[in-house]
Each structure stands twice: as structure tokens, then as C-alpha cells.
Structure 1
């Protein structure tokens, strides 16, 4: 669900969530929700076990069992402020993870610039700084978890002392049979009390993860009705825009693209020319349905393919980059070279399509 949502996010939603955050949703949060299934039945099982143990104690010790009940309630109440702290620290920890993932992915994406400028150590220290903040919240989380564990480790002894102290105060005769029976019951009571910290910790973490995932899934999607798609062959016109007005910011009074009218027939080659910032890329975005439509109509007949200005080249031969793992079909291969106007380029190269391109296609021009 998170992956599919990431593919359909609107442009405004993408600005508030980086790829690093989305990776965290999939790797950390989704896994945590899955792990919670192990703890799903613990809350009601603990309540049932405690109730049965107190019933057995009442039969053995009478009114002194009330002291055991009160002691258990006090132990359970002690975890409320600790649980709230745990939840808060978990939120902060996940936020710092998102920040670190965002910074790391941005640095890796622009590593070439960093190496050219000699900024590696500067940005490495920045990553370490963000990591130290994350470690600080992680320490707070772990220390709070340890406090919860400590409370519940002391709890069985505290309950036993309170129970037998009440017996002495109320004058309940402590026969060996009653003492052994009560100790056995209190020992049974220890297991749910021991397991409770882990359950509380997991509930807090799962709630945080679910809230984060829910907030992400509620973000706005691209509007599916922005483009009217016609089946292939149903129209002679491939692309038609009539009185189209599009805007990246729907709240802005000025549209990004105004009064666009365009008609492109099948088989036409169209070049969109203009100065920097004139809206060429925005125009392509509106054809893809990524630029929100204010008014007008946009019709596309058939399917659409979009090739962005970010070529990705494998280290290997040119022919391997063209085939990309497929079997050689010489007729189709020649047609592709002709369509891409590559034959002239291959004639210039010493070894033609057997030329090996290095890292980042260092021996090819930008156009090639």
C-alpha cells in the first residue's frame, strides 16, 4: 500500500515527504506493524490471568487478596507516564531517522559534486551530527524502556510483601498450605507482569508507526480525471488540449500554464521550444497528469511513454546498453538505430556499437 501510494502522490504531497521517509515507512514502520501480531493477544490474556490469580488468592487468603489487587493496580498505574514518555521518544526517534535518511540519500545522489568540491568530510560530519541526535532519542527510548522493565521486575516481590503484610495485619492465619498456594499463584502472576513491559513497548511503537503510515496514506493523490484517455485507434488526434489552465499551486491566483490549445495528430513530431522557465517541463507534466488542471479539457488517445532527461548508462558495450538483456533481433536493432539517429555516431566511434563506455559514459557526448 505504501509503495503504490508513493507512485500516485500529487506534486504537493511529494514536497512534504522525501524518498528517505517513504523508505522508512516501508522498512521500519510496516515491519513494526507486522511484528505486533506476536503481541496481539497479550493485553486480554494478561487481564484474564491476573483476574484468575486474584480469584484463587481470594479463596486462599480472603480479604488479604485485596492488598494483592491494589498492589497490582499500583504497578499497572506506574507504567502510564512511562508509556507516554516511551511513545513521545518513539515519535522523535522516527523523525530523526527520516532526517538522516533524507540527508544520506541527497548526499549519495550528489556525490560527484561533493568529490569535485572536496566537501566529503564536511558532509560526513553533518551526517554524524544528525546521527548523534538520533542516538540521543534512541538513548531516551532505551532508558525509559529499562525503567518500565525495572518497575515490573520489582513488581512480583512488591505484590508478595503487600499480600503477606495484609495477612498479618488482618490476622489471617498463615499456614504452610496457604503460604505455598499463595506463592505458587503469585509465581503464575509473575509471567504476565514480566511480559507486560514488552507488550507496552510494542503497543507504543506500533501506534506511532500506524499513525505515521495513516498520515502518509491520507495524502492527496494525482487527480485521475485530469486526463480523458481514449482507446487506441478511436481518434485521429493523439493529443488535444482545449482552453487548458494548469497550476502547480492550486491556491495561487496565477496559473502556471494559461489558455493552452494544442492538437497533435498521430505520426507527428513536435518540438516545444522556449526560454528557461517558460514552462516546457510543466507542459510535459500536464500531459502526464502530474500538473493539476484548473479548467479546460485534455484528451490522450492511446498510451503514453515519458523519457526524462536523466540517462542511465551501464558500464559495458554500446550494443549491451541498447539491447539491455534482450536477444539480438537485427532488423529491429537497425530500425532502433535509425529512429534514434545513432548510425552516424556509431560510424565515428572506432569500434562502432562494440565500443565500451566507461563509468558515467565518459567517452560519449550528452546527446549520444
Structure 2
């Protein structure tokens, strides 16, 4: 990757995102490749962020408090930029409360009674336009900064969770599934990237409500309480819905973790599942869990729909409560009506969207932080007593009950004896029961983080009988492996290590078992989307279980699990409501433009070029944005693949003391993902920044107070809603990438054709001779001639021209490339 231009960019270039212009042009003209993505900024490097947070967390642990606080550790790391961006956000939001005042003065200046003040009206209109400009000049960098800060928090948490995973004791690991860890790091921690933008509204919104209520009081006196009461009722309604969602969410999390744990175990043991023909059984087990999960998803989706719809149906509710009583008691005054209406619009957004969203964000974030605190406080693996005065392994007065597995795990320190001591000198090398290799080249696996020594490397290759495999490769040392392993490569790792003695885990087990319209108009839409999500999951699971191993061997487990975790969570929880919001917001914006155009038809002609420019600019952005989003998804999968591989080989990693090496590999995968995600955030903000500039020009004046009120009021609504609409459209487009990736898995080739039940009867043959003739053979025989096997289509043959015979009553037992015969 080339160095990011943002490192040397000027302040203005960073502020207006000019430094992204080269990648935008390149993405529009041609297909982007991973090499086109800039490096992540140095301050976003995973090792730097992890070191900062780990230092503060260790400080919390050493403070002597009863319970260390991860929130305090995060605050000490990131509180300064968080407060700075919050201040900018507050100033930008404060301009919304000044705009209605200027609107009222403008309307009053166009009243025939105040004809001498007409000139002041134009200056006030210019000031109102400046407020729009100031608002987006403050909000855009503030929101980008908060999203960037959320990304940094996620990276730091990813790193310390991974490091803690490498330290967990075997007792703790037995209670944690791979699926749970993947879910924690994908679906949960991923929320920091987007949700941090709502964090400051928990204090900005109440201040805004108090200020707006006081200003409305000056306009309509006691009738202001009618508007406040109406909006407060909406807030209470949303709080009730949020309370009802709590238990459903907790139940859904349990079911999701259960489904992902089972899915992860199946994906890690697909060879065994297919060997025993358990595809249908496993599919049924997951399908039953998914059925219960979808029921809860429907309930949560319904409550979320009503929660979200409060914003859209509240407009007429608030207007009637505020304006009608005042009009009946005091008469109609255009200045007061339109000013009050503008304040009500501000209150509507604040009470029904920003405040509930920020409260929900803090609630979810605190629950997640407590969950991570609990994880970071779990029991760790303890190093064995190290004594250089002895020359062998010594077990002294040890009391334990074990088989060969427990004995070896106790020697490694993975299990703690009930009493007695275990001491050793030097270093231990270990070969796992399950032949395990990490994704990478043959050389990477053999060296396992050590410096390359040509003589020792070639000696290891020869000792482990890997010369033939070396000669089969075009670039043997650099050939990549992922999910395939063999005893030769496994033993090569331990032979390479210059250890004092070796433990070879020679296993005898042959197999292992697996674990098993109007207010309601959008409701059918949401339920239909959830039903589609259910069908997509069902078809994708069936496609993966039915796919041939030649296809699955080319995929890392993390990539497969990413479809079942991140992508399905997106389709389940976020896509239905976001798509509905996008439709609603589009209708609102288009409706406002049409009303303004009806009042003054020439405005429609003035707005048409702006709309065309926006459509062209959106297309220009999406050509690059979609490619960056795809690259970001591809860069995310190795993170979870590395986590899964590390968990599977954890005993081996700890036996060779290679935790630091694997942490470094994990940081590299994080940095690769950070580079694409940061670039996507920057290009997205480039587009939103310029969208605001375009629609700031959608501002004009007429010569009648009633019409000027309608035009400016609706123009303010457009400017307030349009960015939300644009951001939602981009989010929906990005989430549809998840649907596209799921469909790619659904289209995987099937290893067997569909069963034709009409022809099943032809396979049943009644052999009468077998009953009458006593000389009928009582045993069979398997004869294999010139067998050639490839893991992948077009790949190298792992078996060539193999011939053998299996006689009757012989059994062939196979487990991870260890072949044994029993008579």
C-alpha cells in the first residue's frame, strides 16, 4: 500500500477532503484493487492504539478498586477529542434554534405594514443562509471526527480482546465458543463506528428542548405547553417501546450466540459432517434455532418500526397541538405561526430521533462495555514454574485424574494440578492432536515466527518428508495454505524449534461428535423483509452444506462465518427499517420541493439543475464508494479467520510462546481493514459535504409574507432532512452489498444432484439367488486403481495414481491425515 495523502495534506485539504480526489477519480475510471488503497494513518495503527488502551486498563487493574472500569480507561485515552467534537456539534446544532428567529423577522419585514423594513429582510435572509453554511461547516467535521474516534475505539478493543483471548485459561475457553467471540467482535464492537456520532445528543437534546420551549413561550405563551406536552407524549411512547424491546433483545442475543456457536463448530468440522452424511441433521438443528430467533426478530422489528415512525407521524400531531389553540384564542399571525412551526420541527427531531437514539446508544454501549469488562477479568493461563537447575521435566507430589490428554495439558500448564508442582527447564515444543497450521506459506508455518535459517529449514523439510511436496510447487516456499493441514507440516513446526525436549501428541481417537400504510403501512414491509432474511439464511446454509469440499477448501472459515454473523445481522436488524426510512425521507424531500415549486414555479426551474448535479455527483461517488465497501468487507474476513485459527491452535501458540508473533499478525490484518474503512469514511464525508453545499443554494425569497414563510420553512426542512436522506440512501446501498454477498454463497455449486424419488424404486434389487445359493459371497472388497485427488479444481494433486485394495472385514479409520488399518 502507498502512504496516505492525509498524512501530508494541508488543513484545508483535510477539512474539505480534497486529499480523496485522486482515489475518487481512479475509482470512477477503473476497478480498484487492494494495492490502490492508501495505508491507514499512523495514529490509527492497531499496535499504537492497543498499547494506549492496554496501559490505561492495566492502570485500572493496579488501582486496587473492587472492579476495574473499562469506561474510565477509554475516557483517559479518548476523552479530549470526544469533547472537542462534541463542542463543535453543539455549536452546529445551536444554529437550528436561531434560524426560526430569523425566519420570523424575515416574514415580518415582508408584511405590508412593515414596508420600510423590507431592505432589512434581505440582510436577514443573507444571515439565514450564512447560518446554514456555518451549520454544515461545523457538523461535517464533527460527525467525521466522532466516527473516526469510534473506529479507533473499536480497533483498540479488538486488539486487547484478542490479546486476552491468547491468555485465557483452558477452563474459561471450554465455556466460550468461537461463535460467541466472533459475534462479540463483529456485530457488537462494529457499532462503535457509527453509534458514537449520537453520543453527545444525550446532553445537547435536553438543552435544545429547554431553549426551544422558552422561545416558543415568548411567541404563544401558555399554548407552548400544548406543543411540549404533545412532543413529551411521543417521547414517553418511544420510551415505552424501548422498554418493551429490552427483554426481546436479551433473548435474541442468546439465540443468536447459540446459532453462531453451532454454525462455527459445523464449519470447522465440515469434513466430518460430510463424511457421516450429517448435512440434513445439522441444517435442521440450525433451522430450529433460527426459527425461534426470527420470531423474536419480528417482534423487535415491529417495535422498532413504531419507534421510528414516531418522527414521521408526529408532524401533524405537534402542529395541531401548538398552532390550533393559539389561532383560536389569539387569531392568525403569520410570523408567530411559521416561527412556532419551525421550532416545533426542531423539537420533533430532537425528541423523537436524537434524544432517544443517544439514550439507546449509551444503553447499548454500556452493556457492551460491561460485557468486555467481564471478559477482560476472566481467569488467565498461568505460566509454569521455570527452574534452570533441573535438566528434565519434573512432576512432584502431583495429585490429578487424567488421561493422556490431561497429562500433556498439565505439562503445558493448560490444566492446573489439584496439588503438587510441575517444573521444567528450557523450552517445550508441542504437536497438537489435531494437525493444525496457520494460514500462510509453507515457510511461515515451519519457521513459526523464527528467523530464517536455510540449513535448519532444509533439514526440517527433509526430516518431515516434505521434499516431494516442495518439488510439486512452482514457488514451494511461498505456497499459501488455509484450512488444509497435514501431520508432516504439523511436525515440521516442532522440529524447527530448538527446544530442550519435545511432546508429540500421538492420538488414537478416530472421530469426534458435534454439538448440535398510515401508522401501520410500513409494518407489512418490515415483516416481509424479515421473512426474506429468514429465507436467505436458510438457502445460504443449505448451499454451504451442499457445496463440494473442492469449493469450501478455497474459503477461510472466517469468511464463511462473516456471512452468518455480520451480513445476516445487517439484513435482520438494520436493513428493513433503514430501507423504510429511506422511502419515507425521499417522499418528504420530494414533497417539500413540489410544494415550494407550486408556490413559486420558477423555483422548480432553479432547483432542477441542482438536482441533476446531485444525481451525477452521487453516481460519481458510488462508483468509488461501492468498490471501497467491497474491499472493506474482503479485508474484514481475515480478522475473524485469524481469530478462529488462533483459537484452534492456541495450545500450540502458547507452547512455543508465539503470542507476540500472532498479535503482530492480528495487528497487520486490523491495519489492512482500517485502511479501507478510513478511506470509505473519508470519501463518504466528501460526498455529504458537497451535497450540503449544493442544497444550501436551494434558498430564495418571494414578495408575500405567506409565501415567504412556506418557502423558507420548507427549505429549512429540506436542508435538515436531506442529509439524513442521503446518508440513509448510502447506508442502504452499502447494506445491499451484504445481500449480494449472501446471494453469492447461495449460488455455490452443489456436490450432488437433487434426488429423483421416482427412480428410487429402481435401486432396490431383490436378489433371489442370494437366498437359494449358499455359495453367495459373504464379504466384499474395495479395489482402487490410479486414484488422483485434488483439494481444489485446477489445484495441485495431493494424491497421484494411488492404487490399493481393502479386503473384506477390514476397517479404514481416518482422522486428519493419520491413516490406520485394523483387521
Using the size of structure 2 for normalisation, the TM-score is 0.35
Structure 1 34/98 Cα, relative in aligned 2: closer, same or farther at 3 Å? same
Aligned to 1:189: 347
Aligned CA distance change for structure 1 residues 168 and 202 (closer, same or farther; 3 Å) = same
Of residues 161, 167, 172, the one that matches 1:13 is 172
Rounded Cα–Cα distance in structure 1 between residues aligned with 2:272 and 2:261: 17
Higher mean alpha-carbon deviation, 20-29 vs 278-287, is at 278-287
How far apart, CA to CA, are the structure 2 residues paired with 1:34 and 1:319?
Answer: 37
Distance 2:231 2:345 in 1: 13
Q: Equivalents in 1 of 2:393, 2:370: separation in Å?
A: 42
1:154 CA displacement:
2.6
2:262 alignment counterpart: 103
CA distance in 2, matches of 1:110, 1:53: 61
Kept in 2, the 8 Å contact 1:282–1:291? The answer is yes
Residue in structure 2 matching 1:72, options 231, 255, 258: 231
Structure with a larger share of its residues in helix: 2
The answer as to whether partners of 1:64 and 1:163 remain within 8 angstroms in 2 is yes
Instruction: Give the unaligned 5+ runs of structure 2.
Output: 1-159, 474-485, 487-788, 792-797, 803-815
In structure 2, distance between residues paired with 1:355 and 1:188: 70
Aligned: 1:244 with 2:398: yes
SS of structure 2 residue aligned to 1:309: coil
Distance 1:36 1:352 in 2: 50
Which residue of structure 1 lines up, in the alignment, with residue 539 of structure 2?
none
1:285 paired residue among 387, 409, 412: 409
For residue 29 of structure 1, report the CA deviation from its aligned partner: 1.2
Q: Is the 8 A contact 2:390 2:424 kept in 1?
A: no
Question: Cα gap change, 1:141/1:28 in structure 2, threshold over 3 Å: closer, same or farther?
Answer: same
Conserved in 1, the CA contact under 8 Å of 2:398 and 2:417? yes
Q: 1:173 to 1:229 in 2, by over 3 A?
A: farther
In structure 2, the residue corresponding to 1:220 is in which secondary structure? coil
Q: CA RMSD in A?
A: 3.7
Q: Which residues of 2 match residues 326-365 of structure 1 at below 5 A?
A: 331-333=455-457, 335-336=459-460, 340=463, 342=464, 354=471
**1:178 pairs with one of 312, 336, 342:** 336
Structure 1 length as normaliser, TM-score? 0.74
1:126 to 251, 273, 285: 285
Which SS does the other structure have where 2:428 is aligned?
coil
Equivalent pairs counted in the alignment come to 324
Contact 1:100/1:131, CA 8 A, preserved across alignment: yes
1:298 alignment counterpart: 422
Structure 1 match to 2:301: 142
Partner of 1:28: 187
Query: Does the aligned pair in 2 maintain the 1:83–1:200 contact within 8 Å?
Result: no
**Runs of at least 5 residues in structure 1 that lack an aligned partner in the other structure:** 246-254, 257-277
Question: Matched residue of 2:430: which SS?
Answer: coil
Partner of 1:297, secondary structure, is: strand
Corresponding residue SS for 2:431: coil
Correspondence for 1:228 among 382, 385, 402: 385
- Inter-CA distance 211–152: structure 2 relative to 1 (3 Å threshold): farther
Deviation at 1:162, TM superposition (A): 1.7
Q: Hey, what does 1:272 align to over in structure 2? A: none
Aligned positions of 1:199-214 closer than 5 A: 199-214=358-373
CA distance in 2, matches of 1:229, 1:78: 63
Q: CA deviation at 1:323?
A: 7.5
Match of 1:366 in 2: 818
Q: Distance in 1 between matches of 2:455 and 2:461?
A: 10
